[in-house]
Amino acid sequence: MIFNYSFLLIILLIGFIFLIVFVIFKIIAVIRSFTRVSEVAARFTLDSMQLKLMVIETELSLGDITKEQAIKRENIVKKEYSYLKSINKISLKIIRNILNNNDIIVLEIGYALFTLVDHDESKLLLKIRELRKSFAEENGVKIPKIRIIDNAILEPKEYKILIFGIEAGCGIVHMDLLLAVRNNDIKHGIQDEKINETIYNLPAIWIKPEKREQVEKGGYTVTEPVDIIITHLKKIISAYFLTLQ
């Protein structure tokens, strides 16, 4: 009888553990669904704002309203959008912090960068696989899988890198441009140099692809958008890899 009771107790304990795991997964699934709904709602809010502004511009051009009325209505629309965006951003931030704590490395991307991961053989995904493989070979450490999330709350061309749910780095990339980074030994840079690149804080400028050869001859290092993200990922992983094991 003792054996039977012990065996029954073990069965009940295993069943209880499975029940807890099942409930946790269901809760996570519901939270993820809510996150997606919130992101879609945010996109519709942005689209509706643009539509309202177009209507105001049309009415102004037709003479149905004065310029002062148009400015007043535009301000109201922008304030409404700003308020809704801030509320949605706070709620999504809380939810994402809950979800991201279940993932060690997360790469969030704005909607203008969605094409980077629109299929399994996309350039970004392939380079991430290469990064994980080369990092393991060079350092003898296998880094965790990198989860990629499309986040409509980010600026369209923005990306963020999170480690254990905490932001470790962020940046902006333009998919139709290349980043020309000024080397330290160049005395005079391009006249319209406007930014410092995110990773190493060097003077840089976004250029059109057709100017690549000309700029490289001037001593600049030219990088594609995908390689910028990969380089940033590698730098952050290198800084945190002891905690990723």
pLDDT digits (tens, 9 = 90+) for 213-245: 988 888 888 999 999 999 999 999 988 877 666
User: What superfamily would CATH give domain 104-245?
Assistant: FHIPEP family, domain 1 (3.40.30.60)
pLDDT at residue 27 in the model: 66
Copy the structure tokens of residue 34. Answer: 């809510």
pLDDT (average), residues 103-120: 86
Q: Are 218 and 185 in contact (CB under 8 A)?
A: no
pLDDT at residue 128 in the model: 93
pLDDT at residue 51 in the model: 78
User: For 43-84, what is each residue's pLDDT tens digit?
Assistant: 666 667 777 888 888 888 888 888 888 888 888 888 777 766
pLDDT at residue 65 in the model: 85
pLDDT at residue 75 in the model: 85
Q: Are 204 and 228 in contact (CB under 8 A)?
A: no
Residue 161's SS3 state is: strand
Rounded Cα gap, residues 62 and 37, in angstroms = 37
pLDDT at residue 1 in the model: 46
Q: What is the mean pLDDT of the chain?
A: 79
- Assess whether pLDDT exceeds 70 at residue 39: no
Copy the structure tokens of residue 178. Answer: 């290349």
Is 14 or 185 the better-scoring residue by pLDDT?
Answer: 14
| pTM for the structure as a whole | 0.62
DSSP class of residue 227 equals: H
Is 222 or 89 the better-scoring residue by pLDDT?
Answer: 222
Rounded Cα gap, residues 85 and 82, in angstroms = 5
Q: Are 181 and 197 in contact (CB under 8 A)?
A: yes
pLDDT (average), residues 147-152: 86
